[in-house]
Every structure is written in structure tokens, then in C-alpha cells.
Amino acid sequence: MDVVIPALGESVTEATIGQWLKKVGDAVKADEPIVSLETDKVAVEVNAPAAGVLTSLAFKEGDTVTVGAVIATLEAGAAAAAVPAALAPAPAAPAPAAAPAPAPAAAAPAPVASAAPSAYEAIAPAVRVLIETYNLDPASISGTGKDSRLTKGDVLAAIEAGTAKVKGAAAPAPAAAAPAAARTEERVRMTRLRQTIARRLKEAQNTAAMLTTFNDVDMTAVMDARNRYKDAFEKKHGVRLGFMSFFVKACALAAKDVPSVNARIEGDEIVFHNYFDVGVAVSSPGGLVVPILKDANAKSFAEIELEIADFGKRARDGKLKMEEMQGGTFTISNGGVFGSLMSTPIINPPQSGVLGMHRIEDRPVVVKGQIVIRPMMYLALSYDHRLIDGREAVTYLVRIKEALEDPTRLVIDL
């Protein structure tokens, strides 16, 4: 039975073999993942079409494959699934030879060295990608999955808590003993997703006349409203009331006054949209991805929060669908979750605008002639100056600022 590359989404015709999850001779269950593919936008897994044993692999990791290509063969059936069981006793034969081995002390490290790779291979592929992306030592992270295996949540929590150790960080002594060995280089092939991100960002710089304008917003009113209603909101809707829903609603409201921010250039024409499909940038193991929150202008706070929470979870698990990241008329990027104070985000063509959110910090400001401490956030709007004038960009940011500093505007559409 042939294992073929399935359809990967609109306009996606090829992918890269990211990692084989099974090897020749392994028994697999029906619908069990056997290989991880990297496409231009997401990582996807190809599942076994039936239970059986893998008999051959047609490609190696790093190879490019096209939709419909045969990448492996499978001997299906229960009888085939018993083949690995017959192979299992083979490793038992060396067991007696292992008894005299403990005599030399130097032989002890050998099993440890061989055990480490097998333990690492037991980690789920998506989790390994996350570990390799941040160059982490998996032994420094406690697993909460089945059989104490690491999950993406474990890795992300360890990164956020600062308990995850970088590989090599725990071995300063050898580096001191042999400083010359520290001058090393490593070449790692860019993932297909990272190549696409790099290409699209450069295309944006080369095509659009990009400019960024800034403003700041007093988050007191939003924070007060959130603190006042967060418990009742979560109890009723089953999701936390975050800041992003306020920003999505504010951006959609401001786009009514400045429609060019929600438009795009197509040839020598301007295409205006009567809908607001906002891309919400979320972090995934392979890089930043931007799923699209469609018709955000017509959604409630609860619908926005539920959909964003779902995007974030599935991005971390590598389960976002290709079609969920296509389209979009505007983008919101929240660098504040990583501690960014100010940045100039790059627009996502063919969109004409992107709003950058940043961290909230207490700063002295003047209110009615008095210096007071307020939670302030810098906002950055990068826009295509071919379509959006400076006056329109500033007006758009001011409308967002007004809506956030007086959230009642979001309810009464003012």
C-alpha cells in the first residue's frame, strides 16, 4: 500500500520532509502520524492509511516532495503488524553479554550515551521542533504528559518561567578548560516556513512604501473594565477576557472612519473591503504565523476571545489549517507579550496596514494639569504610504486611542 502526500491547501503544491516519525520495520496503527512535513505556512503530519508495517521510505529528511507523490510503502494487515514483534526478541540476545561488561568502569558511560538519543526521539516531533528552535536542554524541563513525556505546554511554561536551560549552559567548566573549542560554528538549514517568512518580509519592504507612525494609549479604562467583568465574563463564556478583543474591536471601529487602512492595492486599482478580516499574529514552534479572524467587525467580545484562544492553542500544537491563514485585510501584532516597548511592524502584503501593540508600563503623564502615574502602551501603525496618507494614519491611531481610553465607544459604535 502506497503512502502519498495529500492535498495541503489552496496554492500549496509541495512540501519538505521535516522528520520521519517512523522507520522501516516499524508497526503503525491506522491514522498514526508517520512523517512531519513543512510547508510554506504550517507543519503538517501525514498519517498511515491503514494498520501495518512500513516496508520502505522513498525520501529522506530535507527532501522536497509534491502533492500526490508516493513517499513510503506499507504492508497492511494484522499479520504484517506482527512482524516487529518477531524482531523484538533479537535485542534480548546481547543481554547475557552485558553482565561481564560492568567490570570496567569506563564501559558504564556507553549505555548512557546510547540511551539519550532514544529518550529524545520519544519526544513528540512538534515538541522537538520547539526545543531545537530555542536550543533548550530537554532534561531541564519536567514533563506532564503520558509517561512523564514533554508536551508543548511544558516547554512553553518552562521558557516563560525561566527554568528551561539552554544547551551547553550547564557546562561552563569544559569551556574554561578548553577555550579554543568554544569557537565553533553550526549551519542549520532554514525551515520552509522560515524561508517563506524571510521572502515575504523582504517582498513587503521592496514593494510597499512603508512608513510607521506612533501614539500612546492610557490603558486605565480597559484594565478597569477587564478587572470589573473578567470573572463574570469567564463564567458565562468559558474564556478569559483579554486585551486583544478590545484592540480588535477598536481597529474595526476605526476602519469605518478610515477605510483605506482596510483596503489594498491591486494593479492600478484600490480594493476597499466592507468586512474586516484581521490577522492575529501568534507564536508557533516554527515561527510567527498569522491566522485570520474573519468578519471581526461583526463578532462579539466573547467570539473574538474564543477564536483567538483557539488559534493560539492550535498554533502551539501545529494544528492550524492552511485555509485559516489565507486572506486577511489588516493585521495586529502583539510584541508586548515578549516585553517589547516599541517596534516598527512590517505589513503583510497585500494588506496595507498592521498595528503593533507593546508592553504596558506605568509612566508619569499629565492629566488635567497634574502629574499622575498611568499604565501606558505605545502603539505603532505601519502602513503603505502609496495608499494611506499620513493624515489618515494618524487619524486611525487616534480613533483607536479614543476607543481604548473610553471603551463605551466600542459598545455604542462611536
* Catalytically active residues, by annotation: 385, 389
Q: Give the contacts of 360 (CB within 8 A, at least 6 positions apart).
A: 219, 223, 336, 375, 376, 377
Residue identified by cell 504565523 is 289
Q: How far is CA 353 from CA 201, 235, 341, 362, in A?
A: 14, 35, 20, 28
Q: Give the contacts of 39 (CB within 8 A, at least 6 positions apart).
A: 8, 9, 12, 15, 16, 192, 193, 322
Of 249, 254, 256, 258, whose CA–CA distance to 225 is shortest?
A: 249
